[in-house]
Amino acid sequence: MSKAEGTVRTVAIVGAGTMGRRIAYACAARGVGARLHDVSGAALAEALPAVHLLLEIHAERSDRALTEASSLVEAYDELEACVRDADWVIETVPEDLELKRVVLARIGAAAAPGAFIASNTSSLPGSWLAESTGRPARFTNMNFGTPEHLKVEVMGHPGTAPETTEAARRFLRQLGLVPIVARREIQGYPTNRIWRAIKKEALHLVAGGYLSAEEIDRAWMLDWGTPIGPCGLMDAVGLDVIRDIENVYHEASRDPSDRPPEFLERMVARGELGVKSGKGFYTYPDPAFERETWLTNPDD
């Protein structure tokens, strides 16, 4: 990290799936080097063109030319080489507590002594993960959204040092993003729990046959003037990720209402994961809710 106002030069991202690529895009768009690593060679091979496409689609959000921004993204076969000398290391592996602990331990052992470490977990409190890093004071949670979202929720654990939270705030501002900093730790992040309540209720309504996914989204978009509804947004996140997050809540609460509904399990088993597989609640590309007449003339 440069001494000039703590400017971040290099970010290592461990996990080159959907969220890893989105974070790499956010970094490269603002001139920050992004190193990607994944245990899956296929995922890693697909990551660079995927980030390039995001940079092309969202060119107006970048302060760099497309070729320059794309050149800032690199793929690494080895985790240790990826994280070495990085200013921040962000873990984006699947939502599995033990897996994250193992990966974070490797990151902590290989990263530079002054590096900060973050998890992009959607539901696991940092206090469940921090000790794995070997540097809990320099560890925090940072939950990024889709490429269109400016908000990133930052949530430390009781042992997170104030300078770590401040470094996270400065880093996100450097990327042109808006940090929302939690005052206290809670499972799932404060504002993310609001979204969780919405998606949980939407899943309940579909599972009970009260409304279709399209009807839920149409009503939501008409009520709130948004370009996408809860079910479309779940498709964007990935229905396997949604299922995994709901399982984390269920394992913590043992409340039957927190268990992912059976229809969601069946969709995941069939490979209907949303945008990334081409089919979820909608088919992609060109989902129905993007049609000009879909919102106000559903019978057209």
Rg (CA), the chain: 19
Whether 144 shows a pLDDT value over 60: the answer reads yes
Which contiguous run of DSSP H or E holds residue 33? strand 33-37
User: C-alpha 152: how far from its chain's center?
Assistant: 9
Please write the tens of the pLDDT for every residue from 39-70.
999 999 999 999 999 999 999 888 899 999 99
Query: Which CATH fold topology does 190-290 show?
Result: N-(1-d-carboxylethyl)-l-norvaline Dehydrogenase; domain 2 (1.10.1040)
Identify the sign of the CA torsion 82, 157, 241, 179: negative
Domains 10-181 and 190-290 share a fold: no
- Rounded CA gap, 115 and 237, in Å? 28
Percentage of residues in the chain having pLDDT higher than 70: 98
Distance CA 175, CA 24 (A): 11
Judge whether 138 and 116 are in contact, CB under 8 Å: yes
Domain ranges of the chain: 10-181, 190-290
* Whole-prediction pTM: 0.87
In the CATH scheme, what is the homologous superfamily, with its name and number, of domain 10-181? NAD(P)-binding Rossmann-like Domain (3.40.50.720)
